[in-house]
Amino acid sequence: MNRKRGYLYILLAAMIYSTTEVALKGLGGVFAPMQITVERVLIGALFLLPFALRSLRRNAIRLTRSDWSYFALLGFLTVTLHMSLLQMAVLHMDASATSIIYSGNPVFALAAAHLILHEPLKRNHLIAIGIELIGILFILNPAKLEVSPRGFAEILTATVLFAMYGTLCKLRIPRLGGLRQAGDAKKVRDGQVSLLTIGGDGSFFLLLFFKRFRLLALLLLGHIPAVGALYRSLGLDIFADVPFFTGFTLRSALLLCYVGIFCAAIGFLLTAKITEYTSATEASFVYLIKPVLATLLAVVCFRETISVNRMIGLVFFLAASLCVSVPVLREMRRDAVTAQPPR
């Protein structure tokens, strides 16, 4: 049952994440890229705030210095550094190429989960990764693609950092689970306690979101002439003089709220539930489904045309998704039959 829930959350997360590009395209030319990044995070944090405070009070949670250090590291790697590199990569490479390379994060998630969490390398997972890589090659068409070495290094680093997210979260499950369910030692030992243990309603992610305020601090510093000049001299123009209050209309505000609440806050909560009910490797397979759904949405919403090589690549992505999901569905079916009482 828990595995079934995990795959349901994978599907829901993929559906939500696939709408991100469509919503952001609707905001294109209205907000600066880093303005969108920091404001969607702030909206997500504010959305989670009342639920998190209630949960912290109810569970009488006391965070140690080690916990805060962990949140600081996780927030810096998966937000400040990851999102900054992602935005810079878009400036130095074709946007579609960056999104395709970024969708290859299951490759790195598989390696991280095996090396750090010692998760087993299942044959169907390895096959799915191989199929996905072939799909990426078809879509990128390396023979005709001109890649900026700097842009490629930025998007590759961002992809690796985000792939580490699920693994780093999974490492902390016993500790955070113990905070809320100290009496249930078996669940803590077995790693069955949710990442939402500092509140199934989002306190864990509130703490993570607050670490994202470091990004806001970087952008605020960029308004100081000397600091802005330093950013530009280092090639970090994206952090200099970023506006915060321009471009707001009713339509753009609603789109920004959607991205902040659904794609940021609820998306991360679903990611936590996925990590609770499945392995860190399986959690990353959201990104096998997302490119297919995102492309279909782009066709429907913006009448975008799909090239032949992209269609072939998406077929490979779909095949990789089936390679992962079909064995699980068969296992669920066997379990359901076994669980039925004899007539």
Joined tokens for residue 210: 């607050």
Q: What is the mean pLDDT of the chain?
A: 76
88 in a structural domain: yes
Whether the pLDDT of residue 257 is over 90: the answer is yes
**Mean pLDDT, residues 110-129 taken together:** 86
pLDDT on residue 182: 35
192 in a structural domain: yes
Cα torsion 38, 42, 45, 47: sign: negative
**Mean pLDDT, residues 270-292 taken together:** 79
276 in a structural domain: yes
Q: Residues of 293-304 as b/e, b for ≥16 C-beta within 10 angstroms?
A: bbbebbeeeeee
* 237 DSSP 8-state letter: G
pLDDT on residue 195: 33
pLDDT on residue 297: 84
pLDDT on residue 254: 93
Q: How many CB atoms lie within 10 A of CB 122?
A: 15
343 in a structural domain: no
Give the residue among 37, 45, 40 at the shortest CA–CA distance from 210: 45
Q: How many CB atoms lie within 10 A of CB 134?
A: 16
Whether the pLDDT of residue 73 is over 70: the answer is yes
The percentage of the chain sitting over the pLDDT mark of 70, rounded to a whole number, equals 80
Q: If DSSP codes are grouped into helix, strand and coil, which group holds residue 200?
A: coil
Q: Which domain holds residue 206?
A: 2-334
Q: CA-to-CA distance for 48 and 201, rounded, in angstroms? A: 8
Whether the pLDDT of residue 279 is over 60: the answer is yes
pLDDT on residue 192: 34
Q: By the 8 A CB rule, do 249 and 229 touch? A: no
Joined tokens for residue 238: 């994206």
pLDDT on residue 61: 62
Q: CA-to-CA distance for 274 and 64, rounded, in angstroms? A: 26
Q: CA-to-CA distance for 45 and 266, rounded, in angstroms? A: 11
Give the residue among 327, 318, 254, 258 at the shortest CA–CA distance from 292: 318
Q: Which segment of 77-86, 166-175, 226-235, 325-334 scores lowest on mean pLDDT?
A: 166-175
Lookup result for tokens 């405070």? 53
Q: If DSSP codes are grouped into helix, strand and coil, which group holds residue 248?
A: coil
Whether the pLDDT of residue 315 is over 80: the answer is yes
Q: CA-to-CA distance for 253 and 242, rounded, in angstroms? A: 18
Q: By the 8 A CB rule, do 215 and 38 touch? A: yes
Q: CA-to-CA distance for 139 and 314, rounded, in angstroms? A: 8
286 in a structural domain: yes
pLDDT on residue 110: 84
310 in a structural domain: yes
Most confident of the ranges 105-114, 133-142, 166-175, 257-266: 257-266
**3-state SS of 105-174?**
HHHHHHHHHHHHCCCCCCHHHHHHHHHHHHHHHHHHCCCCCCCCHHHHHHHHHHHHHHHHHHHHHHHCHH
Most confident of the ranges 21-30, 90-99, 165-174: 21-30
Whether the pLDDT of residue 126 is over 70: the answer is yes
341 in a structural domain: no
Give the residue among 146, 204, 203, 137 at the shortest CA–CA distance from 170: 204
Whether the pLDDT of residue 84 is over 90: the answer is no
pTM: 0.76
Q: CA-to-CA distance for 46 and 42, rounded, in angstroms? A: 6
Task: Give kind and range of the element (H or E) at residue 244.
Answer: none
What is the domain count for the chain? 1
Q: CA-to-CA distance for 207 and 282, rounded, in angstroms? A: 25
Give the residue among 106, 156, 145 at the shortest CA–CA distance from 127: 106
